Structure 1
Amino acid sequence: MQTALTTALPDIIQEMGVTANAGQWLTSGFSLAMGIMIPATAWLIQRFPTKPLFITSMFLFSAGALVAAIAPTFVWLLIGRITQALGTGILLSLTQVVILTIYPQAQQGGMMGIYGLAASAAPIIAPTITGLLIDYMSWRIIFWFGLGVALVDIIFALVVMKDVLPTRREHFDWPSFLLVSAAFTGITIGFGNLGTAPFLSSGIALPLGVALLMAVVFVWRSLRIEKPLLDLRAFRNRVFRTAVILSVLMYAILIAASTLFPIYVQTVHHLSATVSGLIMMPGSLLMAVMSPITGRLYDRFGIRPLVLTGGTLLLVSSIGTSFLTIGTSVAYLTAVWTIRSAALACMMMPIVTWSVTQLSGGAIASASAILTTLRTIAGAVGAAVMVALMAFVTKQGHVGQPAVASVGGMNAAFMALTVLASVLLVISLWSVRRNKAVEGE
């Protein structure tokens, strides 16, 4: 659901009668709400039993899907999306913590690889499914479909789930929660307004300034109190610190590319949402197949070979999309996107698993929340910045040749993603050590 509306936004904007800037909040608002909810999940996991917490998250998701499916106005649709995001925020961290707690370290890579079938492949597959649905039915079917899956999920959970994580009574750190919420909101609003206002305007500089101030106060407070909302002392661990940096870069590239690619296919090539989705389908299928395999490879060989392979493939695919033309073939686009998907399969879940190899108990919940929160916000910011860059370069392009101008803007955005991919690969070469024994030193 985080990326499902990428190809449906034009239809929603037209039906609801809103601007493109307002419509984009259906995506960025979802990421923001999810990013705000995830830090609280570290406390929820320790406070409430596993099964009721999981079912509660799915009920929130279901309620949001229902509201969005029947929404009479854009405001109600946005409320539905935000409610969905609250449930998703709980679900993502909870699932990772359960897997990393109940399995020994030697099996964590394989199990996280299986989990990666959903967490890694779903954001890539979603635009494909959406494209097929909206070309033949209303965009509302997306939410009815999500509601159906969620209800089936709840039934399975009632039957088979158990309470597997220890609980204890802990005070909830409301001041820190409000600080981190304000910081993430400021970041999302500030970067979301890029391209619609001057950088030093109140619409951009003010929310970013407030976000920076709130973030500084949050970090200062978290390092001074005994039981903070998020235990930032995890950053003292070199492995975790490196994993967070790699995940932030990777998610910024992933969400930005997932947003830009359908726009290029539909606006430059004038292909349908269905074709746009089908171009991405081989990569999605490859990613789903590779996730369990890369998990097993992590258990056997450690993180370094996977990250270097994934980083190299990601750089190659980013370079491959930096020189597009109005005549670039569909076969080429499919091949480049498939390479990108293979790169993400090599890195996404193995990096999450690697990030907590030095941690245990409650520290895993906090570390998982930190990692998931930062990469979620990075995805939203990455998409906003790259779309703004694309729009800016397009406006400076060939007058009277909108397709050529659009390609120029798209290439500029993908060149920027190539720079991020290069940074990711350099960090991998420099900071990711050869095997798990060494990594633990």
Structure 2
Amino acid sequence: MLQTALTTALPDIIKEFHVTANAGQWLTSGFSLAMGIMIPATAFLIKRLPTKVLFITSMLLFGGGSLLAAIAPIFPILLAGRIIQSLGTGILLSLTQVVILTIYPPEKQGGVMGIYGLAASAAPIIAPTITGLLIDYMSWRIIFWTGLVVAVADILLALVVVKNVLPTEKLRFDWPSFLLISAAFTGTTLGFGNLGTAPFMSLGIVGPLLVAVVTGAAFVYRGLHIDKPLLDLHVFKDQVFRTAVILSVLMYAVLMAVSTIFPIYVQTVHHLSATMSGLIMMPGALIMAVMSPITGRLYDRFGIRPLAIVGVLLVLVSTVGTSFLSVGTSVLYLTVTWAMRSAGLSFLMMPIVTWSVTQLSGGAIASASAVLTTLRTVAGAVGASVGVALMSFVANRGVTGHTVVATAGGVNAAFIMMAGIVTVMAVIVFLKVRSTKPTVQVVEEGTK
């Protein structure tokens, strides 16, 4: 929930710390970036450390980051707390997913991943609603105090109920690969994040992107030529996995961009409170929570194709529907379109993750899970950065003296871009997504 909890609170935080929208959105995109960098390391940690130790470590990081953010007197400390939080979240997401896909047989994975989707997929959608209800009556800091309480409760429960269910082995950590992928992800996010504040061909944009290309290429080359890579890229040999990765990357870019921009639009253009912003999102959040386990069972019964088609069409219609917003757009219309988007995402998020590993087995599942979660998380950070940058760029060139109208124009430009991305997703779904049955083993980790 803490991945997107600050999207509704961003206007208040921006105002309190006197920072720009581009700086404020780093509380979301920076969280996603740090989480994305941590996930490849988690692929190693899962194999090296006992399940129980790793789970408690993730909660200690999350709790420590929550405490630091809750007491932050200045914006950089708040951002540091968010990044420490994200390290714990990165470990937890990968660990939980690998445990589920390891201990359950393929015919039950869809239903169980649907339940897991309540945390991994529905919670980020629900979070802005809960945040909106809280911050109008309390400070935004209550979000982090709540996170600290949850972390402490998780640690106490884990001491009793968490068991070591994954095998461990002595491995050496691949530091060169970790540094290369960290530089690649950071350069990508920084480069795209500077789009709203720097000229297109400036050093602030071209420099980080060039670093990202060079280090990313070096990481791929190294990963394909050493025996024990940080992430096993051979899983990309499987066409199902490749398609799932592309869809997940595009989907998370749209999800995080929309989740960041929508509350800004509601509170800045309509001058509605954070509570109203949360209430507008509430029906969608409830739909997401209810549908997540249901779509898991539907996946087990019907496969991925019908779910993906329904999901992508709902997301496309809702995204196009929010590409022409104005000062006079009704609250009811906003509520319905947001609910439609949430329903569509529930048909896509966890079913695609489950489908991605249907042709994999053994150690390949852990690597595939880490690769998929890493790329979609970083895509979320880039999506939020690009969305806010485009919104700011268009708004700053809007009608002088009409800030509200200019902001609405910027929001529409961002949503039009998102609609284009979802259109690409729809084409991929219709052409490439087919319901498949699990096989014994098609891709095994380390095959060449």
Quickly name the TM-score band, shorter chain normalised: over 0.9
Aligned partners of 2:22 and 2:385 also within 8 Å = no
Tell me the equivalent position of 1:219. Answer: 220
Aligned partners of 1:46 and 1:362 also within 8 Å = no
Aligned partners of 2:128 and 2:278 also within 8 Å = yes
Note the 1:43-192 alignment, pairs <5 A. 43-192=44-193
Residue 413 of structure 1: how far off its partner (Å): 1.2
Over 3 Å counting, the alpha-carbon distance change for 1:401 and 1:21 in structure 2 is closer
2:257 and 2:205 map into 1 onto residues whose CA distance is 20
Residue 397 of structure 1: how far off its partner (Å): 2.5
Return 316-325 or 98-107, whichever deviates more: 316-325
Note the 1:283-294 alignment, pairs <5 A. 283-294=284-295
1:153 and 1:229 map into 2 onto residues whose CA distance is 28
2:261 and 2:23 map into 1 onto residues whose CA distance is 18
1:23 aligns with 2:58: no
Aligned partners of 1:47 and 1:169 also within 8 Å = yes
Residue 440 of structure 1: how far off its partner (Å): 9.2
Over 3 Å counting, the alpha-carbon distance change for 1:55 and 1:419 in structure 2 is same
Which deviations, in whole Å up to 9, do the C-alpha atoms of 1:94-144 show, x marking residues without a partner?
Answer: 000000000000000000000011111111111111111111111111100
Residue 14 of structure 1: how far off its partner (Å): 3.0
1:33 and 1:258 map into 2 onto residues whose CA distance is 18
Residue 362 of structure 1: how far off its partner (Å): 1.7
Tell me the equivalent position of 2:446. Answer: none
Alignment partner of 2:8: what SS? coil
Tell me the equivalent position of 1:260. Answer: 261
Over 3 Å counting, the alpha-carbon distance change for 1:66 and 1:313 in structure 2 is same
Which deviations, in whole Å up to 9, do the C-alpha atoms of 1:207-233 show, x marking residues without a partner?
Answer: 110011000000011001111000001
Which deviations, in whole Å up to 9, do the C-alpha atoms of 1:168-216 show, x marking residues without a partner?
Answer: 1111111000000011111111111111001111111101100110000
Residue 36 of structure 1: how far off its partner (Å): 0.6
Residue 368 of structure 1: how far off its partner (Å): 0.6
**Alignment size in residue pairs:** 441
1:310 aligns with 2:311: yes
Tell me the equivalent position of 1:247. Answer: 248
Note the 1:326-365 alignment, pairs <5 A. 326-365=327-366
Q: TM-score, normalised by structure 1?
A: 0.97
Aligned partners of 1:234 and 1:367 also within 8 Å = yes
Q: TM-score, normalised by structure 2?
A: 0.96
- Matched AA of 2:29: S
> Runs of 5+ in structure 1 lacking a partner?
none
2:253 and 2:17 map into 1 onto residues whose CA distance is 29
Residue 74 of structure 1: how far off its partner (Å): 2.3
Residue 8 of structure 1: how far off its partner (Å): 1.7
Aligned partners of 1:433 and 1:439 also within 8 Å = no
Which deviations, in whole Å up to 9, do the C-alpha atoms of 1:278-309 show, x marking residues without a partner?
Answer: 10010000000000000001011111110011
Residue 437 of structure 1: how far off its partner (Å): 6.6
Note the 1:265-414 alignment, pairs <5 A. 265-414=266-415
- Matched AA of 2:12: D
Aligned partners of 2:25 and 2:384 also within 8 Å = no
- Matched AA of 1:95: T
Aligned partners of 1:230 and 1:366 also within 8 Å = yes
Return 15-24 or 127-136, whichever deviates more: 15-24
